[in-house]
């Protein structure tokens, strides 16, 4: 027996029709070098309708890929709304990649049009003649406003079906070519709705949300869509991630919720403790991308700011778990429980499912309506990433009987020393607890006697000696975990998405 409910597809039409209808005077703000640019959700919806009309004039239609190479700002948000409404596919490209990597992605995605910031377009000059499918490049700062002015707004219903593609994002490609993850309208709407749940990201009409994570990083974690659905204020940082620029925006727009990788909030600490900016509006930091050092959680907690620590990956749209649990003196100390639409399991080396006993470690596997079923046109066999309809994440974890997940490490980042495993994540957390340490990254390096030993790269605020750190660690980890090599550095190499670039670290120090 079928239920007698209306058949309303889960598409961008649901977002489009809410813009301006349920948000009142709520604001969309973009930071600039001068005064922030402000508009209402209704104005944003009207501009995205004009952009949709402009795309039609450019003969962009069903399934066409429209690429972006841009910062977080008003036009990028309008592209997020207009491209899927035009039944086309948004292809945001990471602005921190090399020109060759950008060209590879644009060719692999077969993007027909590229919208790029004027300040970034020069990065593409060396590879412009390598772009095989791009028919037109729109320089946002120079052409975008005229493009909208010359177009008629298109408010017609979105023709895309809920299983049609909405966006194509690429993994960071730390091993081999980047892999394309093709999101559907259905998966994106469901993921955005899940971000509004209290035990998830808790995006609501009462919040002012600033996703510092870029649109090219899984659609800014879908937070702009969640803000559009709820009518929350949305603040986009514009041209810079520099701490003072972000602090100025937090102060002027009274931001309550910020979202970024941990390194952003490490860089912001001095400004939260100083008197230059009034940052008292901030209530919660949404952090993902890598495990959050416990001392960082504690320090923000002492400032009256909670941290919601999530785990996920591009292949999951990207959110998988969320933690607001409070640990002894530290705050959220694990990756939390699965979000409502995510199923988890632990699997051993033999493929057998493992118990959730809080001790047994296995590979974390996931499935759900917002989880990838296969990659877009993979350039190499990726079948080993899937097992019986589950995605193999490559993360090693333990799960408590109540479903609380603790990520132990990436399988490729474990240190196997003398036949025993050392978790780089746990060792990094222990090192970061030292009051002089600002950042710490641990990798395995070859060792003639033990096979591998841990190497620690440390950014310290004050002088730090190897012997002092070793003595500090003796009370926190097994003695044989303590690194013989401590490299004090000014900066730890990071990937294009702000994570520690452990492959690069191994290349430099192995």
Q: What positions carry a catalytic annotation?
A: 171, 315, 416, 421
- Sheet containing 485-488: order of strands: 437-447, 451-460, 485-488
Could you tell me which of 425, 455, 441, 424 has the C-alpha nearest to residue 492? 441
Contacts 24+ apart (CB under 8 A), 141-144: 141/117, 142/118, 144/75, 144/115
DSSP states along 343-409 = EEEEE-TTS-B---SSS--EEEEEESTTS-SS-BS-SS--GGGEETTEEEEEEEEEE-TT--EEEEE
Strand partners, 201: none
- Structure tokens that stand for 76 in this block: 């990028």
Residue keyed to tokens 């978790």: 423
Q: Which residues of 87-97 are buried (b: 16+ CB within 10 A; e: fewer)?
A: bbbbbbbbbbb
**CB-CB neighbours of 17 under 10 Å:** 14
First-to-last alpha carbon distance for the chain, in angstroms, is 63
- Structure tokens that stand for 37 in this block: 């640019």
Query: What does the alpha-carbon distance between residue 275 and residue 271 come to, in Å, rounded to a whole number?
Result: 8
Cβ contacts of 48 within 8 Å, gap of 6 or more:
16, 19, 77, 78, 81, 82, 85
27-30 vs 37-40, strand pairing mode: antiparallel
């Amino acid at each position: 027996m079928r239920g007698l409910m209306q058949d309303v597809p889960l598409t961008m039409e649901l977002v489009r029709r809410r813009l301006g209808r349920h948000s009142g005077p709520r604001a969309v703000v973009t930071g600039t070098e001068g005064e922030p640019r402000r508009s209402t959700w209704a104005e944003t919806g009207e501009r995205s309708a004009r952009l949709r009309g402009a795309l039609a004039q450019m003969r962009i239609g069903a399934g066409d890929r429209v690429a972006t190479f841009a910062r977080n700002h008003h036009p990028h948000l309008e592209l997020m709304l207009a491209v899927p409404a035009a039944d086309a596919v948004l292809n945001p490209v990471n602005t921190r990649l090399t020109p060759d990597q950008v060209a590879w992605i644009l060719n692999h995605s077969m993007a027909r049009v590229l919208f790029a910031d004027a300040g970034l377009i020069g990065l593409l000059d060396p590879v412009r003649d390598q772009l095989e499918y791009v028919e037109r490049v729109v320089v946002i700062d120079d052409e975008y406003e005229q493009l909208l002015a010359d177009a008629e707004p298109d408010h017609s219903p979105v023709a895309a079906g809920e299983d049609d593609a909405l966006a194509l994002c690429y993994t960071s490609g730390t091993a081999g070519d980047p892999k394309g993850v093709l999101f559907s309208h259905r998966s994106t709407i469901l993921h955005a709705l899940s971000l509004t749940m209290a035990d998830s990201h808790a995006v609501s009409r009462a919040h002012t949300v600033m996703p510092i994570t870029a649109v090219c990083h899984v659609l800014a974690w879908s937070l702009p869509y969640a803000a559009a659905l709820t009518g929350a204020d949305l603040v986009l940082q514009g041209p810079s991630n520099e701490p003072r620029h972000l602090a100025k925006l937090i102060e002027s727009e009274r931001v309550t919720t910020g979202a970024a990788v941990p390194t952003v909030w490490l860089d912001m600490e001095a400004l939260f403790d100083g008197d230059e900016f009034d940052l008292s509006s901030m209530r919660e930091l949404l952090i993902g991308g890598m495990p959050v050092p416990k001392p960082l959680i504690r320090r923000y907690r002492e400032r009256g700011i909670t941290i919601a620590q999530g785990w996920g990956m591009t292949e999951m749209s990207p959110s998988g778990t969320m933690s607001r649990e409070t640990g002894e003196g530290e705050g959220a100390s694990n990756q939390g429980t699965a979000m409502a639409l995510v199923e988890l399991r632990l699997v051993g080396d033999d493929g057998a499912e493992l118990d959730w006993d809080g001790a047994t470690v296995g590979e974390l596997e996931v499935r759900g309506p917002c989880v990838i079923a296969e990659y877009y046109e993979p350039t190499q066999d990726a079948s080993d990433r899937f097992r019986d309809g589950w995605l193999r994440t490559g993360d090693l974890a333990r799960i408590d009987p109540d479903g609380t997940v603790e990520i132990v490490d990436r399988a490729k980042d474990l240190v196997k020393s003398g036949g025993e495993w050392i978790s780089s994540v746990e060792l990094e957390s222990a090192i970061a607890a030292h009051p002089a340490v600002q950042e710490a990254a641990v990798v395995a390096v070859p060792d003639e006697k033990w096979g591998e030993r841990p190497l620690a790269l440390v950014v310290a605020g004050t002088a730090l000696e190897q012997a002092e750190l070793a003595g500090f660690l003796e009370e926190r980890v097994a003695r044989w975990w303590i690194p013989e090599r401590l490299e004090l550095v000014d900066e730890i190499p990071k990937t294009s998405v702000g994570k520690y670039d452990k492959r690069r670290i191994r290349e430099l120090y192995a």
